[in-house]
Structure 1
Amino acid sequence: MNIGDKVRLLHGNEEGIITKISGSGRIEIEIEDGFKIPAMKNEVVLVNASEKQYFNREEKTVQTGQSLAPVKESKADDNIYLSYVSINDKDLSVYLVNHTDKDYLFMASEMQGESSRTLSSGNFTAKTSIKIDEKAIPQFEKWPTLFVQFIPINRRMEKMEPAFEKKIKFKASSFFKSQHETPLINKKGYLFSLLDQTKTLDIHQLNKELNEEKEASPVSQQFTRPPKEIDLHIEKLSDEHEFMSNTEMLRLQMETFEKNLNYAIATGMDEITFIHGLGNGVLRKEIHKYLSQLENIKYFQDTQKSRFGYGATLVRIN
């Protein structure tokens, strides 16, 4: 077994990617919801690629940190790609691939807290690739956040395109199932689309929204009654979850939970159900801890697992 292998627990339904292996026979597995669970090597079995194909479970998309970014296997789109190409069974070369007709100025850096290190920068010519770094698979969990910035270059008078940037922090469950042919390099690599998933910042719209929030008073604010069932699975809440850390995902899930619970209380709802899944139980524990501190909650309980197919909590409101 190696880091990056997909495995299934022998005494459970969980599947995940091996992210850490210790000499004592213990491993760490990152399951689909982003949480990590410990296990022994003799407690798991490798998931064979032929098994996935037989049951039609092969993934057809590349999961990036901001959304699911489809990568066509027949012909690559005009796009900018990030690709990790194998040097050997332990090391990867990191490439940026400009599969567009436009030139860019670029900078690629690694970030740790408030510090950064520039890996590469300069002109990024159309239809070229640039090697920016090398990475060791056994050190996957320690890879710093990758920060890339691109400024389009107009060689003639034409419509201006916005500059864009992206911070990238991978999860093993998405990284190791993203292998595709890398455009221009023509080698298999862990391939991620950058350009079509980029979001630019509309300063005027942001200022307008901030001013509207500032002008609105608490008395005049209208609360919208939420649905009776709120799905807190991270893929339902954000298109950017693949690059989010476990802490960031949990924070977003709890913010969504708290907001909808407050709205349910403010609009006079009798009950509301939060679907949080099973996973390793971290989100469920945080929700139950929060609810136990509120005075206007009659009770809360695990509810109807057979109906939802995964964990949920019913909240009865005073």
Structure 2
Amino acid sequence: MKIGDKVSFLSEVGGGKVAGFQGKNIVLVEDEDGFQIPMPVNEVVVVKQDDYTTANVINKRAEAEEHRAEETPLNRGGRSVKAMMQDGQDEEVDMTVEDTVDDTKEVTYRPQAVERQGGNQLSAYLAFVPEDVKELINNPKFTVNLVNDCNYYLKYTYLQAEGNSWTVLSEGEVEPNTVLFLGELGREDVNHLDRVAVQLIAYKREKPFILKPTVDVQLRLDPVKFYKVHTMQVTDFFESPCLLYTLVENDKVARPLVLDAKRLKEEMYAGKQTDAAAQAPTAKQREQLVSRYTDDQSKGNKRNSPYIRHRGLDDALVVDLHAEEILDTTQGMKPGEILDYQLKVFRDTMNAHLNHKGQKIVFIHGKGEGVLRRALINDLTYRYKKCTYQDASFQEYGYGATMVTINS
């Protein structure tokens, strides 16, 4: 009697295959369900011995394959579930063959994106994160990141303006609720940074979703902000403060607060329409808009206007012509009206100091489209011919400032 022999019980019904031995007197008999039954050696009798010749082994394997081919879920060939599950476990495996993995094959499986509650409204931001806040002035370095704060995949294009043309800096896809690195910025990149644009297409994979409109946002970046610590803000997306620009938030596309040059030109040269006049603010409303300070609020006289301050070793006057600095609000005002008021502040300042020979006045107008600067230069060329002007110091006043010297 040896392992593999078929045996039958003498004193009871049953039998099986010899699976092993326990000592000299106990044999382990495995039944059809795979259970091993210990029996005394003298209580079993060999019914059939296994033939381990090559021909017999091949015939048995062929019979087994034919038997499996005939099996169906309803006809299991009389075998138990456990016996069917053990098919192939006794096959010999060639261990000399190396188990290799082809790393060049593309992984096609993608896990389902994890969605968060309340994330089905589009929210995306463009973030400039400084590598070292302490080095902003001497050696500014930033990483550019696209923040996807929603449950949608975003197909994006990140572009930079070069005159009237655009150059693609990065394009691809950002997964839901993730931050994607787009590139880096050094000092030279920051100094030449002016206009950038981001285009977005939102969608979901392998499930229905609410269609969102495409997003196309142009941003005008002020390089001066990249050198100042107080312009950085703390966010939930990064550990360090950063410059964060909203592209779309809660399905509302951001509209940068910059003036459209073409629209300004139309407002300046086009005739006034009757409907425009009807929508124009009343005299009382205009008074509330422009009368930010009364004469008795000034420090002695109108020369000491609240938006004029002494600054620098040359005791130059500094006048900030940004709309938010000289107006409490621009609500109800058209771009042409804002420009008219900025020019009024400029002319009032110039007229107040025409008799102060040698006086230097710095007008901060911002970089922008250059509409306000061109209007100032036009006045200096034809209205104030005896005054000289030049670009003000970038280190002291930043981009978009003009210094005027009173010569008459």
The interval holding the TM-score normalised by the smaller chain is 0.3 to 0.5
Quick one: higher RCO (CA 8 Å, sep 6+), 1 or 2? 1
Rg larger in structure: 2
- State the TM-score, normalized to the length of structure 1: 0.42
